[in-house]
Amino acid sequence: MEYEIEEKSAPGRSKVEVLGATYEKGKPKGEELGKWRQKLRDREEKLKYLQTGERYWYGQDWYGSEKRRNPA
């Protein structure tokens, strides 16, 4: 894969080289796309998956990146 390098100006310096996009263009293909429920074996795994995802947003003891560490 050939990388795309761009030159941009940076504060305090004249020009710097920045690595461009490193992904392959296109859309994912396949029948299994978006079927997360079928990938998990049983009810317990599904619940654990959902609880872990919601802990990020609703947990009291763990901080998501958008939450404040000290409440206002």
Query: Do 36 and 52 form a contact (C-beta atoms < 8 A)?
Result: no
- Model pLDDT for residues 18-32, shown as the tens digit of each residue: 988 888 778 777 777
Residue 43 confidence (pLDDT) above 80? yes
Rg (CA), the chain: 21
Average pLDDT, the chain: 78
Task: Name the band, by pLDDT with cuts 50, 70 and 90, for residue 1.
Answer: low
Residue 41 confidence (pLDDT) above 70? yes
How large is the average pLDDT for residues 61-72? 61
